[in-house]
Structure 1
Amino acid sequence: MSQPGFFARSELTRVLWSFRREFFMVGIFSMVANVLMLSPTLYMLQVYDRVLMSRSELTLLAMSLITLFLFAVMAFSEWMRSRVLVRSGLRLDALLGTRVFNASFDSYLGQQGSGPARAFGDLIQIRQFLTGQGIFAFFDAPWAPIYVAVLFFLHPLLGWMAIFFSLVQVALAWFGHRHTVAPAEAASRAASDTGAYLQAKLRNAEVLESMGMVHNLRAHWLRRHTGTLGLQSQSQSLAHRITAWSKFIRYSQQSLALGAGALLVIEGQLSPGGMIASNVLMSRALAPIDMLVNTWRMFINARSAFGRLEALLGQYPEDDPSLKRVAPTGGLVLRDVVASAPGRATPILKGVSTAIAQAQVTVVLGPSGSGKSTLARAMIGIWPGVAGEVLLDGLPIESWDRAELGPHLGYLPQDVELFEGSIAENIARLGEVDSAQVIAAAKSAGLHEMILRFPKGYDTPMGEAGGMLSGGQRQRIGLARALYGEPVLVVLDEPNANLDDVGEQALVRAVHQLKEAGRTVVLITHRPGILAVADRLLILQDGRVQADGPRDEVLAALRAQQQAQAQAQAQAQQHAAREAQAGQGGGAVAPQAA
């Protein structure tokens, strides 16, 4: 069966189209439930206009039993449609949960999104709308004309009253959407920004407390918080006014419908049973519209969430699961790599080219701000906005499936983040713990003896160990995580920044072991003590390659350059001294000549 073009326009709409059978079943159950909603009206008409006149108890009993049966069928239909939607919500989450997580993570890594939390919030919003009371309003609304038609059958005045109040409710819903959506969204964004601002600052609570900065932070937060309260107050005030008008219209409709029915009874155009039934019927006819008014905001939010999620999945398509590559060997080539950052006018890396062979140890040197950390991230394919080519075994690194490539890469960033779980789980990259490989990685990082001194050893939770770990120990756990699983390409960004002499010796041993095992190592550092393990040196200056080649050749070239600069500086100083002496001599002769 071919799918309509509209539903084939995106991945998200295709997933929702796959639920057409479930929505069709909900529509059938909604039809049964709404038709049977006429049962109370018919029952009241028969009781007031027939049973009370005939005084027949048998008729009353039969009608009551039939009505109870119809009520049971109606309740069963209501329950079944709710059950179908709940199961559909679970299946929707199963179909899209992993996909949304991967796409949102890629977006966050590319600094183009707000992360998995926002994407999952959008998915939850769509699921709640499709499985909650809001969707029932859309299934019940098409049956409102049937109730209005019955009201016209009872009397045209009652039908026209129902149409009038329907139009009033629709106008109120349009007015509410037009005037409340923008203020509510502005208040929501302001509250989110204020919370994120405070959360980010509280990560440095020790710095704030130690230097007495809490009062100043409170002042900054209070200005943001006050602005947020003002926006929320404005939004809520308008929403409350609209809610008050909605209640006024609803209560007026109920009373005026009863009054109109009473007038028709007085004039002999309607029976007392019809008066009571018409009041109930009009309330039922306007109930879906009233529910649409109350859930319209939910529908708008779900539609916005749908648009964001649709764009996210379209921008980050799913990788082809059939695409499998041979495990890489670690050869890395960079060709004219230019790396930029949002809000920065000039690129961080400006045409960097280099080739790193398998089993080589390359040390990257350069002053702060020269682009070393950006180069490390570009090498493993996690820096957004990279132009040029980063080739791993001759293939663009972005073409690799990250789940497939990840075990073959080791990366230690400057800021080491350890995750919730045990020390072993952190070293094992939160995957299945291979005890032998965990211990081997810990020994390579010089951590094994230290970990064994903990009461629970490798099973010590990071929550307990975090307070007992120094910066150097945390960095060595990060190093062990980078070495876990024998990766073929290891990129270490300032791995010895927080290490003492013992830790640096362990680092040197680990690099030697990687080299002997045929692994490719890129080591970024400020400290020259690690140069002894280097095969190649790459020196960055202002985002450009200043020198690149075998270690001894680069060092010899740098020494020659420094000597030449020292000689030129010495010659310049001598020349300046001779000129100064000549000037002083000329100044002494001049007065005598005068």
Structure 2
Amino acid sequence: MLKVFDSESEIGSALRRFRFAIGQISIISAVLNILMLGGSFFMLLVYDEVLPSRSIPTLVGLLIIITIVYCFQGVLDLLRSRAMIQIGALVDREITPRVFDVITKMELRRREMPEGTQAARDLDAIRSYVSGSGPLALLDLPWVFLYLAVLFMFHWTLGVLASIGVVVLVAIMLAADRMTKSATMKATQIGSSRSMLIEMCRRNAEVIYALGMHRRARQSWEDATAAFVRSTDRLADVGGRMQGLSKTFRMLLQSLMLAAGAALVIDNLASGGVIIAGSILSARALAPVESVISNWKGMTGCVQAWRRLDAMLKQVPAPMPTMELPPPSQQLSVEGLTLGPPGAKKVTVSDVTFTLNGGDVLGIIGASGSGKSSLLRALVGIWEPLRGAVRLDGASIDQWDPDILGAHIGFMPQMTDLFDGTIAQNIARFDPEARSEDIVAAAKSADVHDMIVKLPKGYNHPLGTNGGNLSAGQRQRVALARALYGDPFLIALDEPNSNLDANGEDALGAAIQAARARNAIAIIVAHRSNILTHVTHLLVMSNGQMQLFGARDKVMEKMKLPAPRPPRVDDKPAAISSAGAA
């Protein structure tokens, strides 16, 4: 079924840390199940001893004893339930950081995730099952044999009947597993696809309404919802049938046990108390099996979630400790760099080699799809090279802790996304120890300070999922301020002027010149030639290969491109000729 304490499983390893606690819970379960015999023996003594003797003191004494037993049962049951809740919470706390690694790194390192939040939902399913009654039912399951043994002590007929009942319920449980296993997996897949669809529609709401796609998108959502409801209804139907069957059989078995006990009393083979005690014991013997059946859906869901999450964790290994290196300050070197999208058998950049020193500004140009953005992702460590290396001051970037290296990198992707938080938090990269003067300095470097202070709450203006009602150009300038925060050594900007007006481009140029002045390296993917005024070097990409690299003027002379000139306010954006770039 599942190797809970598998040494190769991170989830199993997390649970293994609580083996002592689980062992204690097992001991509590043992004591609890032994105390469960108290009710049967109480009824046996009442019918066989108290009623014939008509002794009130004996009855009172037995009642006091069974009250104490029941109190202990309640306390022990509460203790083990709380302990399982705590174990579930602690396992969740152990695995949560790794789940975040999976969600944020899977697509960067291995392959595209089918549904971004699946790993988090899988962890929730595991914690929910571990914290519930399912594991306790499994701990109670071996004690079924104790109750059967006591029934055999009463009379072998009662023991055989109860044993048959256990076997039938186990058969129902296995049949339920066989009938729901594939259906559960299918329902999970349909649910993931449905979640992805509605998230895609939410992100593209403007396009859907502007292009008249609302009805078609809604129809797709309704179809996905109908398929999901059908799959969950099938699961519920199977579960309901199995639970109904087990409940009906259990009631029939109790009647058979009473009838068998009565027959034994009639034949003087058992006392009257055996009728009631046997009925109670048979119900207790079947209870753990029934509990396992009622929790079967949760258990199969937990097992499938465990396997999915464990597979994802293995694809994104925990980071190894790294030696803390001095801050980079001198050179970026790229050596025979070959790379492709994570998990795809496709090379998008091949054999790129160049070196930049502090104070250099590189412009990367080329036709769409030539590999410019892919190269930029590798230069800042987002994509791992298939071959070759990217080095800062001689050390390959995989020798750095990503969080430490990130403080020395300013990155601005082509698609500008800001996080849910204030403008100040976004610029400061959510550093809780960020100084106000550093945030303002970064904003001024991007020439966005005046725009920010005119907002109702200034730097505390909230940015939700819609970017706080900022325009595309404003969001891009806030993202530029985020990239410049902390005066990073390596600044990588992917089409940073795509949404900027003339003033914005002037601010971008000033920021690049300021980076040069403090000996930083800036790399800019450009489609508009105005920005090339500020670069010192050019790299021309074509079909994933480096066609030219060198000083800006020499490269542009070879390409027969006009020398760039600073933009005027009334200039229209000039695009770089893809023909010339190729």
TM-score (norm 2): 0.91
Q: Secondary structure at the match of 1:523?
A: strand
The Cα shift of 1:380 comes to 0.9
CA change 1:16–1:232 in 2 (3 A) is: closer
Q: Residue in 2 aligned with 1:348?
A: 348
Moved more, 484-493 or 463-472: 463-472
Q: Secondary structure at the match of 1:135?
A: helix
Q: Secondary structure at the match of 1:66?
A: helix
Q: Which amino acid aligns with 1:347?
A: V
Give distance in 2, aligned partners of 1:492 and 1:398.
21
Q: Secondary structure at the match of 1:323?
A: coil
Q: Residue in 2 aligned with 1:566?
A: none
Conserved? CA contact 1:108–1:116, under 8 Å = no
CA change 1:6–1:27 in 2 (3 A) is: closer
Q: Which amino acid aligns with 1:30?
A: S
Q: Which amino acid aligns with 2:73?
A: M
Conserved? CA contact 1:364–1:523, under 8 Å = yes
Conserved? CA contact 1:108–1:115, under 8 Å = no
Q: Residue in 2 aligned with 1:549?
A: 550
Q: Report how many residues are paired.
A: 559
Conserved? CA contact 1:125–1:305, under 8 Å = yes
Give distance in 2, aligned partners of 1:120 and 1:231.
22
Give distance in 1, aligned partners of 2:329 and 2:194.
47
Consecutive unaligned residues in structure 2, runs of 5 or more: 564-582
Give distance in 2, aligned partners of 1:326 and 1:528.
36
CA change 1:482–1:88 in 2 (3 A) is: same
Q: Secondary structure at the match of 2:23?
A: helix
Matched ranges for 1:456-475 at <5 A: 456-463=457-464, 466-475=467-476
Q: Residue in 1 aligned with 2:417?
A: 417
Q: Secondary structure at the match of 1:449?
A: helix
Give distance in 2, aligned partners of 1:396 and 1:103.
23
The Cα shift of 1:396 comes to 2.3
CA change 1:464–1:393 in 2 (3 A) is: closer
The Cα shift of 1:172 comes to 0.9
Give distance in 1, aligned partners of 2:34 and 2:172.
27
The Cα shift of 1:429 comes to 0.7
The Cα shift of 1:496 comes to 0.3
Q: Residue in 2 aligned with 1:519?
A: 520
Moved more, 322-331 or 44-53: 322-331
Moved more, 10-19 or 281-290: 10-19
Matched ranges for 1:557-568 at <5 A: 557-559=558-560
Q: Residue in 1 aligned with 2:536?
A: 535
Q: Residue in 2 aligned with 1:40?
A: 39
Give distance in 1, aligned partners of 2:202 and 2:92.
34
Conserved? CA contact 1:22–1:85, under 8 Å = no
CA change 1:343–1:220 in 2 (3 A) is: farther
Q: Residue in 2 aligned with 1:105?
A: 104
Conserved? CA contact 2:118–2:192, under 8 Å = no
Conserved? CA contact 2:4–2:12, under 8 Å = no
Give distance in 1, aligned partners of 2:209 and 2:8.
54
CA change 1:234–1:247 in 2 (3 A) is: same
Q: Which amino acid aligns with 1:99?
A: R
Give distance in 2, aligned partners of 1:560 and 1:448.
36
Give distance in 1, aligned partners of 2:466 and 2:106.
32
**1:339 is aligned to 2:351:** no
Q: Residue in 2 aligned with 1:491?
A: 492
Give distance in 1, aligned partners of 2:330 and 2:251.
75
Moved more, 140-149 or 472-481: 140-149
Q: Which amino acid aligns with 1:456?
A: K
Deviations 1:164-189 (A, max 9, x none): 01111111111111111101221221
Q: Which amino acid aligns with 2:104?
A: F
Moved more, 189-198 or 321-330: 321-330
Conserved? CA contact 2:439–2:485, under 8 Å = yes
The Cα shift of 1:385 comes to 6.4
Q: Residue in 1 aligned with 2:567?
A: none
Q: Secondary structure at the match of 1:429?
A: coil
Conserved? CA contact 1:334–1:352, under 8 Å = yes
Q: Which amino acid aligns with 1:365?
A: I
Q: Residue in 2 aligned with 1:69?
A: 68
The Cα shift of 1:95 comes to 2.6
Percent of pairs with identical residues: 37
The Cα shift of 1:294 comes to 2.1
Give distance in 2, aligned partners of 1:140 and 1:278.
19
Give distance in 2, aligned partners of 1:526 and 1:126.
48
The Cα shift of 1:330 comes to 5.6
Deviations 1:250-294 (A, max 9, x none): 221222222222222222222221101110110001111111222
Q: Residue in 2 aligned with 1:430?
A: 430
Q: Residue in 1 aligned with 2:88?
A: 89
CA change 1:5–1:47 in 2 (3 A) is: closer
Conserved? CA contact 2:166–2:286, under 8 Å = yes
Q: Residue in 1 aligned with 2:153?
A: 153
Matched ranges for 1:126-165 at <5 A: 126-165=126-165
CA change 1:145–1:343 in 2 (3 A) is: closer
CA change 1:416–1:23 in 2 (3 A) is: same
Structure (1/2) with the larger helix percentage: 1
Give distance in 2, aligned partners of 1:223 and 1:21.
49
Give distance in 2, aligned partners of 1:297 and 1:534.
62
Q: Residue in 2 aligned with 1:587?
A: none
